[in-house]
Structure formats: structure tokens, C-alpha cells
Amino acid sequence: MDSLSTVMIEDNEVFASHDVVSLFTNTPIDKALSVIRDRLEKDKTLKKRTKLSVDDIMNLTDFILTTTYFQFRGDIYQQKFGTAMGSPVSPIVANLYMEFLEREAIATAPVTCKPTLWKRYVDDILEKIQRGQLQNLTDHLNTVDVTNNIKFTHEEESNGAIPFLDTLITRKEDGATTSSPKLKIVIKRKNM
């Protein structure tokens, strides 16, 4: 967040944030596997790091992502869509898919609502956009995922401030920004 201390924001711009609704359970597995294969095939150093072929890695990843079972009230279910909550591979797969999706979203955004700042952490995104264009950007983001499963919600700064990732980002008088903790946590060691 230190990089935000140098960001200037004009009067005709606002800070906004977007969040993906239930990212893990809405990540489209087939599309995510395609993104992963593409990344692996373009990785020039893969053979230096593993003896597994791209096909081997893809078969293992497919198996992990499509054979997820869980128990609820004594019954066993198979997860049919999305990545499993709690699986160590889910954040990686969801992040790779989001990286692909954000590249598409920024590249195809109409000029009027194209963000001039885009900072993403997993499914939380902070943007700086032209005032009055937040809904247009949200509408655009909600069309980028061809599976129509990834949906975004948004929030606009209020009174010159916006919460983002446990921080409160505020607008200073000169247009500069600052971020401060939204929540202060004090941890005291118990006497033993």
C-alpha cells in the first residue's frame, strides 16, 4: 500500500473498489485449465524446474480440480463447479484465472471508464476512474468472463475515503492519497 502514497487523484476522478462474488466457487474449471495450460506452454524455464511435461501437469491439475468431495450432515457430495474452499490449489487457480480476466478487462474497457489505476489482491480490486463511470466499468467487468459466472460488485469512495484490504485510503487536500489502518489490533502477551 506504500505505493499509493505517491498517487495523485484529480477532482474528476474517484477511487472505487470491485469485489468478485464467491470467487473460488465460481471459478470456471475448464477455462482456468485452459489459462494454466497456456501459461505452462509459454514458460521457457519449466523444463529446468520439473521433469513433468505440460500434459502431465495438466492431467494432475484436472484430477485435483474435478474430483473434489465433501461431507455434509453425513452425506457425501461431489463439487460440480468451481474450486474447493480450503484446497491449497484453489487460491492459485483462482488467482491465475483472475490475472487472465483482468488483462482482458483492462484491454477491452471503453476509454470513458478505463481505470488509470488498478491494484488487485486475489478478488479485491482498487481502481481510480473518471467520476460518474463506476457503473459503466462494473457493467463492462461483468461481461468479460465468457462463462458468465464471475460477477463483480463495486463500492465508490465516500467523503474522500474508501476501505480496501483492511486499510482506509483517504484523499488529501492536494489530491495526494494516504492509507491508514482501518482497524488497529493490539496483541498483548499473557503472563505465564
Q: What is the mean pLDDT of residues 75-83?
A: 91
Question: Half-sphere exposure (CA, 13 Å, Cβ side) for 108?
Answer: 14
Q: Is the predicted pLDDT of residue 152 greater than 60, yes or no? A: yes
Q: Tell me what percent of the residues of the chain surpass a pLDDT of 70.
A: 90
Q: Report the C-alpha gap between 26 and 130 in whole angstroms.
A: 29
Q: How do residues 97-143 score in pLDDT, each as one tens digit?
A: 999 999 999 999 999 999 999 999 999 999 999 999 999 999 999 99
For the chain, domain boundaries: 2-181
Strands 69-72, 177-181: pairing is: unpaired
Q: How do residues 174-190 score in pLDDT, each as one tens digit?
A: 766 777 654 433 333 44
Q: Name the residue with cell 467523503.
A: 159
Cβ(169)–Cβ(176) under 8 Å? Answer: no
Q: Is 64 exposed, middle or buried (0-12, 13-18, 19+ CB in 10 A)?
A: middle
Which set of grid coordinates corresponds to residue 66? Answer: 474435478
Q: What 8-state DSSP symbol labels residue 54?
A: H
